[in-house]
């Protein structure tokens, strides 16, 4: 393990470790803020005024599902239009150059893949997909969007905030008239194929992440406060096994006590500097 102080603006110590290869990236909402998607807990984090939809509320209440789908119907358009930023592109380049052995993301926006990253493990799913809770059929979010537009031809409202889960802040009166649609296969309840707060990440997905961590030499955390256990457990697991834990995040994180180094810079800037410092290819 390295013995470096966290919270600096120097990426050189990270570059020295990343240059050795066998790095697994664990990314959070902070890497997507430069693409116009807010994070949950940063300076403008959406958890400050916003309570995300929980799995219990979604399955228990038709009014809760109506609220979610009305807000998400508008919010998803912003997520779908978002483009990868310099941070996403740097991660893809580090992978292409052979430094990374895996990418795990807590994000549901698909921007790592859009930037060219391969075999990304989407820990919390992806808003591009919709799943039926009754029959398990998975369909494209674009298809659902077309059906919702037909069912709500005049639905429009001023969006005051977009959250990382695609949930938009809307006036209550705008939500009450929204018409939901059911699964075309069985008539069951549709849910975005993402892990809501209070819902468990599928066990096979978790086990795949642990295998990546076990085979890695270093875990590089990008833009996550690690407040949620679903990501934090991998950092704790890596540290317990004596692996390097490196963090790039603006602000303290739950993983700081386990980290050899934390860079306190915007992700796009820090990852661009890291990419330059590591060289063209991993030997």
* Consecutive 10-residue averages of pLDDT for the chain (283 residues): 62 95 97 86 46 88 93 86 96 97 96 98 96 97 96 80 71 85 97 93 97 98 95 97 96 94 96 94 70
Pairwise CA distance, residues 274 & 232, whole Å: 23
Whether residue 99 is found in the same domain as residue 227: yes
Q: State the pLDDT at residue 283.
A: 58
If one counts the domains in the chain, the total is 2
Q: What's phi and psi for 44, nearest 5 deg?
A: -110, 25
Whether residue 138 is found in the same domain as residue 277: no
Q: Would the annotation count 223 as a binding residue? A: yes
Beta strands 244-248 and 261-263: pairing type? Answer: parallel
Whether residue 181 is found in the same domain as residue 274: no
Whether residue 230 is found in the same domain as residue 263: yes
Whether residue 217 is found in the same domain as residue 278: yes
Read off the CATH number of the domain in which 232 is found.
3.40.50.1220
Task: Please give the distance of CA 236 from its chain centroid, rounded to a whole number.
Answer: 19
Whether residue 119 is found in the same domain as residue 217: yes
Q: State the pLDDT at residue 11.
A: 95
Please report, for the chain, how many H helices and E strands are present, in that order. Answer: 10, 9
Q: State the pLDDT at residue 44.
A: 44
Q: Would the annotation count 113 as a binding residue? A: no
Q: Among 148, 177, 194, where does a domain finish?
A: 194
Q: State the pLDDT at residue 9.
A: 87
Full residue range of the structural domain in which residue 164 is found: 44-81+126-194
Pairwise CA distance, residues 8 & 53, whole Å: 35
Whether residue 102 is found in the same domain as residue 72: no
Whether residue 208 is found in the same domain as residue 92: yes
Q: Would the annotation count 39 as a binding residue? A: yes
DSSP line for 112-134: HHHTT--S-EETTEEEEEEEETT
Q: Would the annotation count 225 as a binding residue? A: yes
Q: Among 174, 194, 214, where does a domain finish?
A: 194
Whether residue 205 is found in the same domain as residue 108: yes
Read off the CATH number of the domain in which 175 is found.
3.30.1600
Length of the chain: 283
Q: State the pLDDT at residue 158.
A: 64
Q: Which residues are catalytic?
A: 124
pTM: 0.91
């Amino acid at each position: 393990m390295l013995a470096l102080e966290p919270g600096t603006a120097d990426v050189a110590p990270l570059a020295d470790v990343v240059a050795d290869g066998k790095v697994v990236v664990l990314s959070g909402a902070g890497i997507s803020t430069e693409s116009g998607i807010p994070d949950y807990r940063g300076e403008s984090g959406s958890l400050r005024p916003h309570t995300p939809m929980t799995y219990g509320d979604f399955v228990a209440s038709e009014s809760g599902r109506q609220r979610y789908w009305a807000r998400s119907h508008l919010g998803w358009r912003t997520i779908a239009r978002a483009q990868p930023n310099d941070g996403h592109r740097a991660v893809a380049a580090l992978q292409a150059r052979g430094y990374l052995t895996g990418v795990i993301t807590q994000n549901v926006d698909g921007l790592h893949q859009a930037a060219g990253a391969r075999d990304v493990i989407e820990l919390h799913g992806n808003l591009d997909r919709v799943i039926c809770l009754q029959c398990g059929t998975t369909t494209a979010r674009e298809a659902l969007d077309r059906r919702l537009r037909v069912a709500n031809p005049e639905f429009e409202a001023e969006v005051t905030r977009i959250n990382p889960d695609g949930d938009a802040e809307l006036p209550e009166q705008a939500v009450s008239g929204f018409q939901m649609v059911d699964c075309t296969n069985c008539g069951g309840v549709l849910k975005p194929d993402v892990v809501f707060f209070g819902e468990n990440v599928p066990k096979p997905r978790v086990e795949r992440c642990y295998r990546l961590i076990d085979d890695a030499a270093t875990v590089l955390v990008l833009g996550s406060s690690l407040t949620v256990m679903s990501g934090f457990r991998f950092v704790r697991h890596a540290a317990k096994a004596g692996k390097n834990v490196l963090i790039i995040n603006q602000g303290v994180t739950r993983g700081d006590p386990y980290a050899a180094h934390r860079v306190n810079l915007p992700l796009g800037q820090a990852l661009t500097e890291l990419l330059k410092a590591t060289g063209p290819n991993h030997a």
